[in-house]
Structure 1
Amino acid sequence: MTRRQQRMVAVGALVIGLGLAAALGFTAMRKNMMYFYTPSDVAAEPPSADALIRLGGLVVAGSVERGEGLKVRFTLADCESELPVRYEGILPDLFREGQGIVATGRVGSDGVFTAQEVLAKHDEQYMPPELAEKLTDDSGKHSCAEFKPVYGAKQTS
């Protein structure tokens, strides 16, 4: 093989190696992606049963039921839809009815969201932008009367 052919083989091997590394990297990232959903999004188009998602909404007043041990059931809503949630573990100190939360988990075939982790918002000003858009009216206040008002949430356009 001439010197020029050796260089071409080396460049070709380098391009193939970089392409393979990029393909493997993108595949790994795609498998580990978590999308944010609201109860309305889940009702409109449920994610696949094996998809790990983040579900955000407000805990419906009167829906929290404590079971045996650390088992808890509650309903999460976004003013348009509600979704039952099942969780086993220690809830954050800020968790309460009417509170905004984000839960990580999977939607089961029975339509119940099984949470692996529950996070409560830290102060009255925080809310995921997608959820704030669904919950606020033109004045910037919470549009659902059954939940406490969320001030400072801005509607994105």
Structure 2
Amino acid sequence: MTRKGRRLVLIGSALGVLAIAAGLMLYALTDTIVFFRSPSEIAAEHPAPGTRLRLGGLVKQGSVEKQDDAHIRFVVTDGGADVRVGYTGLLPDLFREGQGVVAEGQLLPDGSFRADSVLAKHDEKYMPKEVADALKKQGVWKEGEGVQ
């Protein structure tokens, strides 16, 4: 084999190893990527139970139920659909009914959502773009008017 041929084999092997490494890294990241969904998108798409995602919307008025063991249940809505959420732990001080919330966790087989973390937004100006867009799409929230 000539020197040019060995060089081409070496370059081809290096590119192959890099491609395999990149593929393995992307495969490893698929378990850590969490997608945002609104309650209406969850109702329309029916993601598989156990799917990790971020759920965003408004805490429905009259839906917060606090139990004795720091377990809280509430409903997240975007005006088009509702999703029941269960969470064990301390809620942010700004969490209340009618406010924007983003919960990260997984869907359960019964269609409810078990949250690992809950983020409350103190002002609709600071609501994540995805949540605000979903609420605007449902006609629940409009820029400059606040949460309805």
Task: Provide the rounded CA distance (Å) in 2 between the counterparts of 1:19 and 1:93.
Answer: 47
Residue 27 of structure 1 is matched in structure 2 by 27
Please give the TM-score of this superposition, normalised by the length of structure 1.
0.83
Residue 11 of structure 1 deviates from its aligned partner by 0.8
Q: Give the root-mean-square deviation of aligned CA atoms.
A: 2.2
Code of the residue aligned with 1:15 in structure 2: it is L
Paired-residue identity, %:
45
Contact 1:60 1:97 in 2 (8 A): yes
Residue 83 of structure 2 is matched in structure 1 by 83
Residue 152 of structure 1 is matched in structure 2 by 144
The structure in which a higher percent of residues are strand is 2
Superposed CA offset, 1:74-126 (max 9, x none): 01100000110000011000000111000000110011100000001143412
Q: Count matched residues.
A: 146
**Structure 2: gaps of 5 or more residues:** none
Contact 2:99 2:122 in 1 (8 A): no
The structure in which a higher percent of residues are helix is 2
Code of the residue aligned with 1:91 in structure 2: it is L
Please give the TM-score of this superposition, normalised by the length of structure 2.
0.88
Q: Provide the secondary structure at the position in 2 that maps to 1:31.
A: coil
Contact 1:127 1:153 in 2 (8 A): no
Q: Provide the secondary structure at the position in 1 that maps to 2:46.
A: coil
Write out aligned runs for 1:1-157 (5 A): 1-136=1-136, 143-144=139-140, 152=144
Contact 1:132 1:153 in 2 (8 A): no
Q: Provide the secondary structure at the position in 2 that maps to 1:91.
A: coil
